[in-house]
C-alpha cells in the first residue's frame, strides 16, 4: 500500500467527471461489472463543419464494416446508424481488460430546409465516414453587382 499526501484541492475539480460517469452508467448500463465491462450502445465521435457550398460530416467508425452502416434522410433529419460487432477471437478467461465499445449506434442531425437530398454523397475509407451535404440555395451567399 502506498501512502499519499493529502491534497484538499485534488477532488475539487473531479466532481464533473464523477457526475458525467454517473449519468453515463445510468443511461447506458454496462454489459457486465468490473474492469472487463463494455458498453452495448456507443456513439461514434463526429465532426461537422462548413466548407464552401456544403456541410461536411465526418464520423469515426473504426472496426465497422461498410455494409453495417446506414445513412437515412427523412424530413429534415439525417440519421447515421449501424452496428459494430463484438470480436470473439479471444477467450473470455484470457482477457485482461476490455475497453472497446461495441453494439448498435444511432446519431441524428437536423438539416436546414431546402437541401437537395439526392445530392448528398457518402464515402467510407479507413474507418471514417465522410458525408457531404450541399447547402440549400437560400443559404448560399448571392453576389450582387454594383452599377
The predicted-structure confidence for 87-106, as pLDDT tens digits, reads as follows: 666 666 666 776 777 788 99
Cα(133)–Cα(57) distance, integer angstroms: 8
Read off the pLDDT of residues 16-45 as tens digits, 9 standing for 90 and up. 566 666 666 665 554 444 434 444 467 889
Q: Are 42 and 102 in contact (CB under 8 A)?
A: yes
- For residue range 127-143, what is the model confidence (pLDDT) as tens digits? 999 999 998 876 667 78
Please compute the mean of the pLDDT values over residues 78-86 and round it to a whole number.
89
Residues facing residue 130 across a β-bridge: 58, 123
Residue 91: the pLDDT is 63
Specify whether the CB–CB gap between 103 and 37 falls below 8 A. no
Amino acid at each position: 500500500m502506498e501512502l499519499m499526501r493529502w491534497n484538499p484541492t485534488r477532488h475539487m475539480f473531479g466532481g464533473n467527471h464523477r457526475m458525467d460517469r454517473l449519468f453515463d452508467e445510468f443511461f447506458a448500463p454496462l454489459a457486465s461489472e468490473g474492469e472487463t465491462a463494455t458498453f452495448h450502445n456507443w456513439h461514434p465521435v463526429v465532426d461537422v463543419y462548413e466548407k464552401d457550398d456544403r456541410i461536411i460530416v465526418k464520423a469515426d467508425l473504426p472496426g465497422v464494416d461498410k455494409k453495417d452502416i446506414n445513412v437515412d434522410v427523412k424530413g429534415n433529419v439525417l440519421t447515421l446508424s449501424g452496428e459494430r460487432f463484438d470480436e470473439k477471437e479471444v477467450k473470455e478467461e484470457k482477457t485482461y481488460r476490455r475497453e472497446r465499445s461495441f453494439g448498435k449506434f444511432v446519431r441524428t442531425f437536423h438539416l436546414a430546409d431546402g437541401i437537395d437530398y439526392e445530392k448528398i454523397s457518402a464515402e467510407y475509407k479507413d474507418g471514417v465516414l465522410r458525408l457531404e451535404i450541399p447547402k440549400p440555395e437560400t443559404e448560399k451567399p448571392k453576389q450582387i453587382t454594383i452599377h
